[in-house]
Amino acid sequence: MEYEIKHSGKFKYVEEGTGEPLVLLHGLFGALSNFKDLVDGFKDKYRVIIPLLPLYDLSLIETSVSGLSKYVQKFIEHQKLRNIHLLGNSLGGHVGLVYTLKHQSLIRSITLTGSSGLFENGMGETYPKRGDYNYVQKKTELTFYDPKVATKELVDEVFGIINNRLKALKIIALARSAIRHNLGEELKEIKIPTCLIWGKNDTITPPMVAEEFHKLLPSSELHWIDKCGHAPMMEVPVEFNAILSAFLAKC
């Protein structure tokens, strides 16, 4: 993605378009390229903002779902955002939910796709082995229904992260925090319109997770995408954008 990374205070972010804010929160290995088709599809109608979450920059004590949620809070306050459409993938969805539980007045809608917060299939235990490129490639491919979506560029990026000792420690800390920080019954407190867009073939947050989110979130609607894994906005962007567009039009 060739979008400019902007700086304001201590924050780094991408911002494209004008209109109501659509804030995108990425996951553990969430490169900006994960959201390319989403940004391209919505920047003509919305002010699309991607804060770069400080996955590797917080202290080890702060490297948690709660720590990232506090960072999002400070970013939103700094940018003076209101009436926010919040979208999160994987860990980003989890962070968004924790933020929303304390700041519902600022959020207009929530979209979750492959979100953690209830159950994740081995986010910590299956963390790729350092130094083993083939292992990293296979694990990255498992994110998707179609392994070809795991391009060499994407695998190289993941491989580079886990072979940096400090980054690897931070990733493990965040994965374990996500497993510990189960939202469970708290979700019933969220009354905001929520769109769940889920890959039927997601092996990281399987379909039962989407069904549980749907049951616990009072104002949620659930949309399935067949032949799709953990990152629908990457794997099937046209279908994902169509579902999201129809949902946002109602909010």
User: How far apart (Å, rounded) are the C-alpha atoms in residues 11 and 83?
Assistant: 20
Q: And the tokens for 81?
A: 């955002």
CATH superfamily of 6-119+183-250: Alpha/Beta hydrolase fold, catalytic domain (3.40.50.1820)
State the alpha helices, DSSP H only, in the chain: 36-42, 65-79, 91-102, 133-141, 152-162, 165-180, 207-216, 232-235, 237-250
Q: How many residues does the chain have?
A: 251
What is the predicted pLDDT for the residue at 102? 95
The token pair at 229 is 């894994």
Is 197 within 8 Å of 220 (Cβ atoms)?
no
Q: What would the two tokens of residue 64 be? A: 């948690």
pLDDT value, residue 123: 44
Predicted pLDDT at 121: 65
Q: Which of 129, 112, 140 is nearest to 203 (CA)?
A: 140
CB within 8 Å of 48: residues ≥ 6 apart: 14, 15, 16, 17, 22, 24, 38, 39, 42
Question: CA angle at residue 47 from 40 to 55, to 5 degrees?
Answer: 80
β-partners of residue 112 are 88, 196
Half-sphere exposure at residue 236, Cβ-oriented, CA atoms within 13 angstroms: 23
- C-alpha 87/C-alpha 96 separation (Å) is 7
Instruction: Encode the chain (251 residues) as per-residue pLDDT tens digits.
Output: 578 899 999 999 999 999 999 999 999 877 777 899 999 999 999 999 999 999 999 888 899 999 999 999 999 999 999 999 999 999 999 999 999 999 999 999 999 999 999 976 654 444 555 668 888 888 888 899 999 998 998 899 888 888 888 888 898 889 889 888 899 889 999 999 999 999 999 999 999 999 999 999 999 999 999 999 999 999 999 999 999 999 999 99
Handedness of CA 144, 126, 66, 159 (dihedral sign): negative
Q: What is the predicted pLDDT for the residue at 44? A: 96
Residue 122's pLDDT is what? 53
* Maximum alpha-carbon separation in the chain: 48
Q: Is residue 65 a contact partner of residue 94, using CB atoms and an 8 Å limit?
A: yes
CB 210: neighbour CB atoms within 10 A? 25
List the chain domain ranges.
6-119+183-250
Q: Do the bridges between strand 107-113 and strand 84-89 make them parallel or antiparallel, or are there none, so unpaired?
A: parallel
Q: Please give the pLDDT value at position 131.
A: 67
Helix axes 91-102, 65-79, angle to 10 degrees: 60
